[in-house]
Structure 1
Amino acid sequence: MKNRSFIGAIAALLLVASCGKKEEQAPAPGPMPFPVQTVAKQDATVYEEYTANLEGQQNVEIRPKVSGFIQKIYVDEGQVVRKGQLLFKLETQTLNQDAAAAKANVTAAQVEVDRLKPLVDRKIISNVQLETAKAKLAQAKASYSSVAANINYGTITSPVDGVIGSLPYKEGTLASATSEMPLTTVSDTKVMRAYFAMNEKQMINFSREFKGATLAEKIKNTPEVSLRLVDGSTYEVKGRIATVAGLANAATGTSQLRAEFKNPEAILRSGGKGTVLLPINIKDAIEVPQNAVFDMQGKQMIYVVGKDNTVKSKIVQVKTTSGLNFIIESGVEAGEVIVVEGTSKLKDGMAIVPQQVKEEAPAAAAQDTTATAEKTSTTVTKK
């Protein structure tokens, strides 16, 4: 029995020793494959984005010139109206009474002038009395004209073509020129205005990018701009920058710009919001995927593959974003091979098996970027 146990123990030791030799003889793993891309220079169009407020070409507040109860409202919210179309009718009964009294004063003054005129002709009275009566007649006529004009102000018409806004007052409500809210707003939305702002740095870049001795000349040399709507879609009609404020806001340091877009199908609404996309052409841009760039101790870095297929990290300066890619200002040169995925698994001096990948055109990403007020997000289109 003891012999059998002894033989079993020896067999177990031999088995363990055999496994250990096999493990020691297992070959070390070789270099892992990583996707790489060769850096190249190419022209690109970057879309700078600015949050904008939309307004109609004309937003006219309709306010009464005289006080009165709203007798009749002839339009409804959202209705398209023409210039001169009747909008409101105010009750003017009190004004009618004032007009009647003013008319009576005119008649009385006219009678007095007619009575004095023959007396002056016969030199019974002096001409001074007649002139005084004529002055009172002119004053009475002026008073009557003023009251009559106020009566006409009770009939309110549209000063422009446009669309009716909200109607905060109902029939029977007292309205006056001092009311906090207007009777309504008529917006001419055939041409929509997109107001947006640039900070000082963006304004300097704008002035350097477009040629011209004055702001007006620079505006003429700007390309057409696009408008992204709040649903993420791009408005079908392109617009142009129309004006740039001559002075910066002293409190915020921003300058206001206005772009104009035609609105033939009434898609854009006054009071809405959107994002103005301003195309900027960049020649010989170096563009790399965002996945190729990683942060280390506050610095942006990239792995470059050497001739011996070992990687080395380099610090890069990112100029701007281009959809899913970065445009690099410095740190990497055209012709260098970079690792585009899996950078977290690498370290300097590590050997890899490079696998070239095709560069994806990021033009489709132009509509997916999100703009903020302080940080400009951009998109690239290849030429």
Structure 2
Amino acid sequence: MGVIGCTLWMSSCKQAPEAQTSANYAIMKVTTADKELSTSYSATIRGRQDIDIYPQVSGTIERLCVSEGEKVRKGQLLFIIDQVPYKAALTTALANVEAAKAGLATAELAYTSTKELYVQKVVSQYNLKTAENNYLTAKAQLSQAQAQEVSARNNLSYTEVKSPSDGVVGALPFRVGALVSPGIQQPLTTVSDNSDMYVYFSMTENQLLSLTRQYGSMDEALKNMPEVELRLNDNSIYDEHGIIESISGVIDRQTGTVVARAVFPNESRLLHSGASGNVVIPSVYKDCIVIPQGATVQMQDKTIAYKVVDGKAVSTLISVAGINDGREYVVLDGLKAGDEIISEGAGLIREGTVVK
């Protein structure tokens, strides 16, 4: 019995060192390479201009000159509002102008005659002043009549509602015979200039800081950022690339975000104002260090990797880029080319662990 126990103890002693040395760790040598990462942002799509069209005069719609979705040019006729009362008002205004001209001519003759009679001391200064005042009144009446003519012409021109810009016609909620006025709540239509489309998206404060640090300044970021992609609602990628034109310099206190705007060409008219999608922004890092996320441990706001030094694991604080692809980190500080690190299972490693 004693022989058996001794044999088992000796056997276990022989196996213990073998179990200790059988633990291996994946190790990688740090090298540099170029890396491109992309970040996706929820976005809303708007036309370069979305102009609501309201009538400037009241009346019934006499004619619709366009259809929904039609492409129009600047100055093209969209609607005609009943012109009869406005033509009548213009005729009256023209008649008033002619009457005022005749009244002015009569007042001018009277004033000229009175001045000659005053020089000959036939009439008093009171008569002269009265004639002058009548002349000035006639001039004012002519100016007033001419202003009414201009207003009548404008009102008549407003009965022809024209497109203020190139674009595409939106919905047409009012049809022929509908009574409209400048005070209506809903516009006659919306003309959307969609030759280029503005795509608006929000960035967090941290993302903004990361972008600024990457390029040195916001102005440099806008000049040097690569072209961006647009992922549409059906998860397809829009076939044209866009550029980021502007990033707001004010952070919204409620959301902690800034609004950015990218512009995409839209010759195919595939993009529509009011649609949504995702802006995909690539970030290119040149000659950088890239390591697997499994080679790091997160401790609060710190990121740690384990170097292999003299066969043992030594923890090292590193700094990584604010964006990642979910698999790898771009290391900004803490490692250099040639370092050996544990590339997998860093969360199981302890300081000083023997690495084999």
Tell me which interval the TM-score lies in, with the shorter structure as reference length: 0.7 to 0.9
SS of the residue corresponding to residue 264 of structure 1 reads coil
Q: Using the TM superposition, give the Cα deviation of residue 304 of structure 1 relative to its aligned residue in structure 2, in angstroms.
A: 10
SS of the residue corresponding to residue 84 of structure 1 reads coil
Partner Cα distance (2:169, 2:84) in 1: 27
The aligned amino acid for 1:181 is Q
Map of 1:153 onto structure 2: 158
Map of 1:3 onto structure 2: none
Q: Could you say if the C-alpha distance between residues 339 and 307 of structure 1 is closer, same or farther in structure 2, counting changes exceeding 3 Å?
A: farther
The answer to whether residue 246 in structure 2 is matched with residue 255 in structure 1 is no
State the aligned residue count: 323
Q: Using the TM superposition, give the Cα deviation of residue 218 of structure 1 relative to its aligned residue in structure 2, in angstroms.
A: 3.6
Partner Cα distance (2:319, 2:101) in 1: 89
Q: After the TM superposition, which residues 89-168 of structure 1 pair with which residues of structure 2 at under 5 Å, given as runs?
A: 89-123=80-114, 126-168=131-173
SS of the residue corresponding to residue 133 of structure 1 reads helix
Partner Cα distance (1:199, 1:105) in 2: 65
Map of 2:54 onto structure 1: 63
Q: After the TM superposition, which residues 185-224 of structure 1 pair with which residues of structure 2 at under 5 Å, given as runs?
A: 185-212=190-217, 215-224=218-227
More displaced stretch, 125-134 vs 326-335:
326-335
Asked if the contact 1:302/1:339 (under 8 Å) is kept, the reply is no
Q: Using the TM superposition, give the Cα deviation of residue 307 of structure 1 relative to its aligned residue in structure 2, in angstroms.
A: 11
Map of 1:377 onto structure 2: none
Partner Cα distance (2:256, 2:304) in 1: 33
Q: Could you say if the C-alpha distance between residues 140 and 328 of structure 1 is closer, same or farther in structure 2, counting changes exceeding 3 Å?
A: closer
Map of 2:240 onto structure 1: 237
Partner Cα distance (2:22, 2:54) in 1: 76
Asked if the contact 1:54/1:273 (under 8 Å) is kept, the reply is yes
Q: Could you say if the C-alpha distance between residues 255 and 337 of structure 1 is closer, same or farther in structure 2, counting changes exceeding 3 Å?
A: closer
Q: After the TM superposition, which residues 275-290 of structure 1 pair with which residues of structure 2 at under 5 Å, given as runs?
A: 275-282=278-285, 283-288=287-292
The answer to whether residue 36 in structure 2 is matched with residue 45 in structure 1 is yes
Q: Could you say if the C-alpha distance between residues 98 and 171 of structure 1 is closer, same or farther in structure 2, counting changes exceeding 3 Å?
A: same
- Structure 1: give runs of 5+ residues left out of the alignment: 1-27, 349-353, 355-383
Q: Could you say if the C-alpha distance between residues 307 and 83 of structure 1 is closer, same or farther in structure 2, counting changes exceeding 3 Å?
A: same
Aligned-residue CA RMSD (Å): 4.0
Q: Using the TM superposition, give the Cα deviation of residue 158 of structure 1 relative to its aligned residue in structure 2, in angstroms.
A: 1.0
Asked if the contact 1:39/1:287 (under 8 Å) is kept, the reply is no
More displaced stretch, 124-133 vs 299-308:
299-308
More displaced stretch, 185-194 vs 112-121:
112-121
SS of the residue corresponding to residue 186 of structure 1 reads strand
Q: Using the TM superposition, give the Cα deviation of residue 315 of structure 1 relative to its aligned residue in structure 2, in angstroms.
A: 10
More displaced stretch, 39-48 vs 87-96:
39-48
- Structure 2: give runs of 5+ residues left out of the alignment: 1-14, 118-126, 351-355
Q: Deviations over 1:75-112 (max 9, x none)?
A: 11111111111111111333233333323322322232
The aligned amino acid for 2:111 is V
The aligned amino acid for 2:277 is G
Q: Could you say if the C-alpha distance between residues 48 and 137 of structure 1 is closer, same or farther in structure 2, counting changes exceeding 3 Å?
A: same
Asked if the contact 1:216/1:243 (under 8 Å) is kept, the reply is no
More displaced stretch, 260-269 vs 79-88:
260-269
Partner Cα distance (2:284, 2:39) in 1: 11
Q: Using the TM superposition, give the Cα deviation of residue 51 of structure 1 relative to its aligned residue in structure 2, in angstroms.
A: 1.6
The aligned amino acid for 1:130 is Y
Map of 2:8 onto structure 1: none
Partner Cα distance (2:309, 2:191) in 1: 67
Q: Could you say if the C-alpha distance between residues 338 and 117 of structure 1 is closer, same or farther in structure 2, counting changes exceeding 3 Å?
A: closer
SS of the residue corresponding to residue 201 of structure 1 reads helix
Partner Cα distance (1:267, 1:326) in 2: 35
Partner Cα distance (2:212, 2:283) in 1: 12
Q: Could you say if the C-alpha distance between residues 35 and 159 of structure 1 is closer, same or farther in structure 2, counting changes exceeding 3 Å?
A: farther
Map of 1:87 onto structure 2: 78
Residue identity over aligned pairs, in percent, reads: 32
Q: Deviations over 1:240-279 (max 9, x none)?
A: 1111223333443322221111122112211112222222
Partner Cα distance (2:335, 2:246) in 1: 39
Q: Using the TM superposition, give the Cα deviation of residue 149 of structure 1 relative to its aligned residue in structure 2, in angstroms.
A: 0.7
TM-score, normalising length: structure 1: 0.69
Asked if the contact 1:39/1:288 (under 8 Å) is kept, the reply is no
Q: Deviations over 1:24-44 (max 9, x none)?
A: xxxx9x999999674644331
The aligned amino acid for 1:147 is A
Partner Cα distance (2:273, 2:165) in 1: 15
